[in-house]
Structure 1
Amino acid sequence: MLSPTREPAVTEPVVYPPSTLRVDPETLPALRSAIDVTLAELGPHLTEMRTSGHMPEPWLGDSASFETWAFYTDHVMGAPDGPFQALLAYEAQLVAVRDRLVEIQAEYDRTESDTAAVFGSRL
């Protein structure tokens, strides 16, 4: 007697609510520097993956190497949700955070300057 096949359960992706990171203005340069260090360390690895991570063809020409090559190419380097794309997304997020920290620092500096100009003249 054959048992009916069961479809695998499809799980919904986890969606987290937006969060707020509160940082003292004095720590912004150190935080930005830490992100820059991380980007500097990540960059060469991504460059190496871009140039050497792709296998141009199966190495032996047999079916096993072809299957391995196809799986690696499709799932590791080519898949939108694969490891290589995840690292590229991580890099993009770090750049976005760093750029936003630069904007926040500039806003903070402008606000401090404006406040000093307004209240400094009253002292």
Structure 2
Amino acid sequence: MNARILTVDDSASIRLTTRVALSNAGYAITEAVDGMDGLSKLKGGQFDLVVTDLNMPNMDGLTMIRELRKIPSCMGVPVIFLTTESDNELKQQAKSAGATGWLTKPFDPESLVKIVKKVLGR
């Protein structure tokens, strides 16, 4: 069975690039446009991984992670940040919130696939 990945980003072009890279690698992709949309989709479905932006309207990625970690079915779901931010303090906050990895934009789609495979073990 293909891993199910939720991508959360307010940029349509980043969602497209991410979807193409991951779906071409055989993953099933669901998209969300911000943290609130992502959290709603997480509550309504089962995902093997979340790839999220940090800076988004309505709900940022850090807040979304903190909220998803309160959902019993999402506690063990790995989260990768895909963001323009590279500040070490933000990375530490993300790790404390429950993030598994961090990839800085602009990103190489092959690097994203490599990180996803490593995190998922497939």
Higher strand residue share:
2
In the superposition, the TM-score normalised over structure 1's length comes to: 0.17
Larger Cα-atom Rg: 1
